Structure 1
Amino acid sequence: MTLATTAQPEKTTLAAVALRAGVSAPTVSKVVNGREDVSSATRARVLAALEELGYQSPLQRRTALPGQTVVEVIFDALTSAYAVEILNGVLEYAGASDVEIMISVTSHLGGATLSPERRAQRMVEAGRSGMIVVTSAFSAAQLHAFRRRKIPVAVIDPLNPPPADVVSVGATNWAGGKAATEHLLQLGHSRIAYLGGPETAECNQARLHGYMAALMAKGVAVNPAYVIPGRFRAEHGVLGLKKLLDLVEPPTAIFAASDSIALGVLSEARKNGLRIPEDLSLVGFDGTYQAEESIPPLTSVSQPLQEMGRTALRAVLRQLHGEALDSQRVELATHLVVRESTAELKPR
């Protein structure tokens, strides 16, 4: 199994990446080559540095050898714990299945003017056996182009609804959004904000609808000013909290649609002298290691991210071997993990 990251062909060294990530060059080499003896947190820092500096491994230029199974995994970014957890699941299954994994980041793919057909043809020429697309905005036309060339594809948490013949893997986002909001309601909160992801993203819509369903079931009106879409990034948590604090009646609790957003809220809350959870309760979504390690530890809706990665690769390999799939749409169960970032509403 080989791990490589697709980036711009600059003369960036492993030493430069190691310096940026604050680790040793051998540790960077382990990450680049898919070694398992690297912690999730360290892997996340190294992958972020690889992306930022545009490091390109020589392995990227290699086409598949006869008989090799090479699956390309495409991320929109590798800077989140979410992406690292998905990747760990893919790598684990690949290691047990004698499959090589190549990694690309959409912002580094180049060829922005390429037609869907030409981009798909490049995958064929590179000898790719299959593809896993993670939260990417690839169009239906692009996914169809891959399928027409008999490249098995699985999409994880698609931003756009995939074509009916493309496998998608996700989690029970609606149920997770409902559980997060119900938890806050049970603690006595009614002024609950939702800091969401991209407005049209399927997973975001499901989480938002779960949030709204929980409020309406308790007779709490949805305040449009409390619903702020954005990106699944920490910056959205920072900007979202700033907007919410400017309201005449700011919320007493926030449901963030990702752990990354929640971490942004935590950072901005500290700058404003707000205590979590004494002044503001906070729930995230993803259940990444960052939720456990944050201060305070974050209450979060846990997705089985590694299992999602394993399931996607399993679906690609089954298609590659001509096996029938049980379903084109796979939803894995979420569950709420209560930690220290939520508390009962205190009278004010």
Structure 2
Amino acid sequence: MAISELAEMRAARRLVVKVGSALLVEKGEPRDRWLTALVGEIADLRETGTEIVIVSSGAIALGAARLRLPQGGRANLADAQAAASVGQVELARLWSEALGGRGITAAQMLVTLGDLEDRRRYLNASATLARLIEAGAVPVVNENDSVATEEIRFGDNDRLAARVAQAAGADAVILLSDVDGLYDRDPRIEGARRIERVEGVTPEVMAMASDASSSGLGSGGMIAKLQAARIAERAGIALAIIDGRRERPMGRALETGDGTLFLPQRNEGARKAWLGGRIAPVGVLVADAGCARALAESASLLAAGLTEVEGEFARGDLVAIHGPKGERLGQGLVEYSAAECRAILGLRAEEQAEKLGYAPRAAVVHRDHMVRE
């Protein structure tokens, strides 16, 4: 469905609700009363026909309290993994009991970055979500922080929520947070103004963000939320940031319009939306000005327009594509290894065979395997 106002979120066919750590956990203890009220809202939405997927933070905060770890379990990677291992049990229990109190079956899904970056594993996750929803359960998804490392993890549940929304075929995402939306500057500065609606996350919009999390519990600040909005808008999914600190926060925000709504900008095919939502490119290809202009007109990336290759990668890996001034142009699946890209840098098709020892491919990154900013 088309969503152009916050109030229309309540009519979404399928909705992803992300709950931040600071909302669910206070001083190491779950906020049971708040959670019960939120589950009441979820139950009400389900009764009107909306299917719900929950993305819940809180495992590290809960586990750190049980293990009495410093800095909320985030002093180092080992502490975070240990805290997540203990806290995930408690988190699953909280949701199971809260949803069960309204006659709803909770289903736990722990995912890693690789589960949603790899196409086959992404489709497996999508199928699992679909079957759980079909069976009447509410999936409760979290990143598997007990095994994730700093190099291969989402690191925040905002972007995870947007990726889960893609995989679940959702219409909308609500990010319940300890902030009430996007401001045109740091909201602590006098005169800061909340932005009610955003039509496209542009560089100017990104410049409004701070990466600070006011609670100190979560790992995703406003930058992560805007990155989540970019993932969602590419897939035709509306996303809202609303203040989750009050009881029954969704109802309040949808009635008053308090929050920031990011409108979907395009609805690319399922594979391109997945490709555009991937967040871990392993290399960078830098294009010259002429090539950058051609890419803007939906051309493929050719070796003749390449000026620089950064990183090490193999054929089929995800690479970012930058312009001559360092601006990000897009990303795609590369047809050559990094060494081969360096060998044919700036060469035209007729010159590439001699360097490669075989007939060159049609493009370094074909337009069918590329998404643009």
Compute the TM-score of the two structures, normalised by the length of structure 2.
Answer: 0.26
User: Which structure has the larger Rg over C-alpha atoms?
Assistant: 2
TM score, norm. by length of structure 1: 0.27
> Higher RCO, 1 or 2 (CA under 8 Å, sep at least 6)?
1
